[in-house]
Amino acid sequence: MSKAAVRNPDATRQNILQVAFEEILLKGYQGLRVDEVLNKTGFTKGAFYHHFKSKKELGHAVIDEVLKPWIHERWIEPLKQVKDPINDLIKMMNDSRAEINIKELHTGCPLNNLTHEMSPLDESFRVRIVAIWEIWYEALAETFERGQQTGQIRKDVNPHNIARFLIATIEGIIGQCKCYMSDQAFDEAGKCLQEYVKTLRA
């Protein structure tokens, strides 16, 4: 194990996880190579196996310790602060779009990428991935429920159904952009989604 890894094991773990996350985003979990992660981090195999018993354990940790907090920061925590469900949600979409660069648009959403790749192949991955989807879904549904209680969202819509639909649409837009390799596809569909959200206003 390297001296740096011994001095700061927490930083070592986080460094490995972040590089592994980036590799999975670009190549998928099945394209992830431990040797490449070590090459990019400069750590030894001893440092790696001190934290992770296997590539699979590393994959689980990426989902639990990188991907899940990323979704929390980008969606869950902002949703808890929403006061005006329509305007605030549209602002969140615009802010999220502004933060995404061309490279990120064309690599897709890491959560959706792993969903498609690993859910049919490994149950241990699937249950971790679906747990993140459910946290996001519940947070969005609760936002619409609060909006109904304050008279801001139409009473005739089902908050849970709308939450499912919006998340599926957002992810579909990102996935289409990944395929088209075009910002235009993202922005055109995004505008339509925002117009739909406005129809939910009471």
The string of pLDDT tens digits covering residues 40-90 is 999 888 888 889 999 999 999 999 999 999 999 989 999 999 999 999 999
pTM (two decimals): 0.86
The CATH homologous superfamily of the domain defined by 1-52: Homeodomain-like (1.10.10.60)
Helix, coil or strand: residue 155: coil
What's the fold here for domain 55-198?
A: Tetracycline Repressor; domain 2 (1.10.357)
pLDDT band at 7 (very low <50, low <70, confident <90, very high): low
* CA 26 and chain centroid, separation: 14
C-beta separation of 155 from 68 below 8 A: no
The string of pLDDT tens digits covering residues 105-138 is 678 889 999 999 999 999 999 999 999 999 999 9
Q: Which residues pair with 201 in a beta bridge?
A: 153
C-beta separation of 69 from 61 below 8 A: no
pLDDT, residue 2, reads 46
Least confident of 16-25, 154-163, 183-192: 183-192
Rounded to whole angstroms, what are the CA distances from 1 to 18, 36, 54? 19, 17, 17
Least confident of 77-86, 99-108, 176-185: 99-108
55-198 and 1-52 share a CATH fold = no
Backbone angles phi, psi at 153, to 5 degrees: -115, 140
What is the domain partition of the chain in residue ranges? 1-52, 55-198
